[in-house]
């Protein structure tokens, strides 16, 4: 069960640096997006049965996104919110692949506790769900339900900006029972106050059974107890980093869910392979 946003991504590949007050050529495409939906689609493509719980508006964009989920093999538990617009994210991608995102979460902000079915084995919660007053209640309810059902739980902190605004201590309290936390290096530093990603990973692993910290071009770290495993990033010609973290999460979960006591290196490799495939082309999927 994945709980998180479903949205249209408007991916803008800039031909050069932004030109405030003037024009800049760009390649612009609309694609399926949303952090929760991205993870779910990648999981389905990797052969992991998955349901996505989320919301869309009563518009053509929403119905198209739900149809896309089904076509990818995801089971949608998606509520249509009357009068709301489906979420839209504009991703401005500079040469080299770095991106800035402008988010209108739309109907995603209407997610309610009753929208989330009880997970049967594992819950993955997108951190964005906890940041806004509307979907926060659904996120907390999903975490409580998963714990009561004896499920494993993974959570990603989503982004440093909203995480800092939400409050580190509050987020750590919200996610205290998570089995697996999946921050990037900047999020891990913010959550722990440790400048070194390895030290941050160890600090998070003191609070959770497993902490996985992504390092961008440097790969990723797996920390569990006293064990620390590093794998380098896979080679890729970077076009667009949009959704790389979501792809990594899905790749890692697909292996970890199949063998929770298996080789951490294999789980990291699966995540890094999926991320490398995504950054080599525009869009999050």
Instruction: Read off the pLDDT of residues 217-264 as tens digits, 9 standing for 90 and up.
Output: 999 999 999 899 999 999 999 888 889 999 999 999 999 999 999 999
Per-residue buried b or exposed e for 35-63, using 16+ beta carbons within 10 Å of the residue's own CB? bbbbbbbbbbbbebebbbbbbbbebebbe
CATH code for the domain in which residue 202 is found: 3.40.1190.20
pLDDT of residue 118: 94
- Decide if 246 is catalytic: yes
Q: Is residue 269 part of a domain?
A: yes
Please state, rounded to an integer, the average pLDDT across all residues of the chain: 94
| Active-site option among 17, 115, 246, 261 | 246
Domain total for the chain?
A: 1
Beta-strand (E) ranges in the chain?
2-3, 7-14, 26-33, 51-57, 75-81, 87-93, 99-104, 122-126, 152-156, 180-181, 210-214, 220-224, 227-231
pLDDT in tens, 101-121: 899 999 999 999 999 999 999
pLDDT in tens, 195-225: 999 999 999 999 999 999 999 999 999 999 9
Distance CA 197, CA 187 (A): 10
pLDDT of residue 263: 95
Q: Is residue 285 part of a domain?
A: no
Distance CA 70, CA 106 (A): 21
* Residue 135 structural domain: 2-280
Determine what percent of the chain is predicted with pLDDT higher than 90: 85
Q: Is residue 76 part of a domain?
A: yes
Determine what percent of the chain is predicted with pLDDT higher than 70: 100
Q: Is residue 11 part of a domain?
A: yes
Q: Is residue 163 part of a domain?
A: yes
pLDDT of residue 65: 97
Stretch 17-29: mean pLDDT, rounded?
85
Grade residue 15 by pLDDT with cuts at 50, 70 and 90: confident
Grade residue 180 by pLDDT with cuts at 50, 70 and 90: very high
- pTM for the full model? 0.94
Residue 276 has pLDDT above 80, yes or no: yes
């Amino acid at each position: 069960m994945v709980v998180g946003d479903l949205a249209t991504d408007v991916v803008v590949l800039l031909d050069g640096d932004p030109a405030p007050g003037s024009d800049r050529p760009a390649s612009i495409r609309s694609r399926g997006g949303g952090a929760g939906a991205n993870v779910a689609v990648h999981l389905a493509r990797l052969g992991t049965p998955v349901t996505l719980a989320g919301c869309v508006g009563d518009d053509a964009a929403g119905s198209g996104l739900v149809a896309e989920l089904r076509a990818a093999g995801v089971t949608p538990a998606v509520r249509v919110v009357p009068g709301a617009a489906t979420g839209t994210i504009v991703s401005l991608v500079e040469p080299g692949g770095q991106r800035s995102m402008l988010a209108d979460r739309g109907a995603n902000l209407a997610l309610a506790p009753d929208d989330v079915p009880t997970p049967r084995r594992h819950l993955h919660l997108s951190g964005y769900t906890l940041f806004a007053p509307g979907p926060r209640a659904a996120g907390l309810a999903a975490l409580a339900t998963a714990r009561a059902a004896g499920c494993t739980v993974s959570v990603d902190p989503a982004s440093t900006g909203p995480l800092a605004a939400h409050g580190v201590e509050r987020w750590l309290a919200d996610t205290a029972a998570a089995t697996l936390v999946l921050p990037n290096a900047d999020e891990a530093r913010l959550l722990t106050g440790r400048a070194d990603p390895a030290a941050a990973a160890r600090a998070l692993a003191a609070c959770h059974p497993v902490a996985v910290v992504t390092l961008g071009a440097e790969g990723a770290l797996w920390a569990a107890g006293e064990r620390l495993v590093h794998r380098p990033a896979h080679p890729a010609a970077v076009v667009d980093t949009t959704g790389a973290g979501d792809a990594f999460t899905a790749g890692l979960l697909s292996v970890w869910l199949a063998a929770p006591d298996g080789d951490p290196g294999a789980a990291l490799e699966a995540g890094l392979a999926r991320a490398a495939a995504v950054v080599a082309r525009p869009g999050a999927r």
